[in-house]
Amino acid sequence: MSTQETVGLLSTVNETLAEIGFDEAELAEATADWKLRAELGLSSVETTELQLALKQRFGVTVDLWDQDDYTLGRLAELIAEQRSGS
């Protein structure tokens, strides 16, 4: 995945998080290494909302429950992999 694609996907993931209620100022400071639960404090309800929002926005299914805690960067990679068919 190219750096430009990563930055674009991270930005879109952050927009999606803002749409489900996360603070935009906090998201503006988030880096690719931030974990969904540890740094952002994603609850189980928000995890489900994010999973559904990613399906709607990107047309991909990312199982956010198959790992303890995804980073924003890893989430962007998973989206890119599914979109490219990898």
What lies within 8 Å, CB to CB, of 14 at 6+ separation is 27, 28, 30, 72
Segment 39-68, tens digit of pLDDT: 999 999 999 999 999 999 999 999 998 767
Determine the average pLDDT of the residues in 16-44: 92
Domain of residue 42 covers 3-84
For the whole model, what pTM was predicted? 0.86
Which domain CATH number covers 18? Answer: 1.10.1200.10
Per the structure, the count of domains in the chain is: 1
Residue 18 CA to residue 4 CA, distance in Å, equals 21
**pLDDT value of position 65:** 86
Assess contact for 21 and 46: CB atoms under 8 A: yes
